[in-house]
Structure 1
């Protein structure tokens, strides 16, 4: 039960951030926001302040920011959504996902500043590993993996994972020069993954307890790390969602509400074994990943999502006139039906994993 409560709070924060993006962009653009809602379904709380009604609805998954002109009556007034230019409407639609990326960045920054971070720099080469065989040295910085620029340690791990044990090219920065190597990662049964064979340098966060022999990271480095970490989550999410939307993803690669609750609960309990701070950090980490997920999901060019509406706006800009309202309505309906299919697919996977 506690896992469900934490999960609902976390999802609520992500939804509020997303809808606040739409809300503030609409307000600044002079659009009348009629309702700002957290949750879907029947109203369980309502309060009107100024011209906007703020509501909490029964189903805690999702939310919306209803602007004048979005309802079926299609009200067109000086402050309606559709009375604004394509550029303004584009900004309003993109503001929701953008705020999710901002929230993910803030969460990662907070985690990094209060804990420790691994950097793609070799502290120690492990014995009898590919890293030792090709001559990597302590102090080497991993610069590129298979031609992909590496900024943070997580990017390197992602590239190794995607390489699936095949031979790979490794570019390292040593004394201001780049050296290239070829190696085949070694499978580690304990970690159930492929490893190069070195221990990374660890840096202490801005507000974390100092550790003798470890360098404390700077504000700029923490921001840089948080930015590239957020981009890495976005990239991995986009790749994963593309597999889900094409029904090519494996069941262990995706999860719905049940998986989220289980993951949040397990992470909180695991962190609690060390202390309350660690438990909270684990939940915030999941929140950062989910926020990036929500932002990417809404940018996919599927009707009924922000990305679908942005795509239609681009079509309108190219045609220099809006689509036929009836046609646009049918497009959104088809998109909604597709999303329902995806939700059933994901929920089925959740149920199967739950009973296995």
Structure 2
């Protein structure tokens, strides 16, 4: 039971990662900011940031998602009255906004938010250190990050890198890229399984015997042998061979086998 569950999680995880990577890759190529690439759902276990995308591993292995800038589910509104900490660079541009109550994340300028615009004008307005006598306005860098309530750090989503700003063809490709990636994965998996499991190629009568093919091995058939005929009936490909053997269960079958050195008759008990 445990083995089955683990196998399911691994297989499902591969399918999810493949699907979401299709969306991720197409979005990146289309100039759409992918704010988060998540494997799993629920509380995060850990994350790292690379190429402006936050990659997270979450507790529940029941799916995943790609969070694109401007998506319907992508909401980063900072409500008035929210206490935040701002990190500024040498040019006095905000490079990170901490909205989490995990104050240990970094030491910044404490501000009580009055108004923000992180899509167009890129600014934060508020009262510094609780001083309501002076409303201050801080300019925000285009590539600034925001630390959300759960402690996950993602990039802000200026309008020029949002999903809606991409061309229609790019948006369409991004939407279908996940399914396309799963299609490619299916072809790849079946190709690998075909090599692993062995057998006879569809357009050939050459045999590839695996360690589990005890019947073929008992009949003296080896890798690379060609099955020329079954009970005197000529076979040139896998379909011919399968057709002539399938109704011979429990009966002795006379196979004419050719290898690199000679042609001989072998008897098979399917």
Quickly name the TM-score band, shorter chain normalised.
0.3 to 0.5
Higher share of residues assigned strand? 2
Higher share of residues assigned helix? 1
TM-score, normalised via structure 2 length: 0.45
Relative contact order: is structure 1 or structure 2 higher (C-alpha 8 Å, sep ≥ 6)? 1
TM-score, normalised via structure 1 length: 0.35
| Pair member with larger Rg | 2
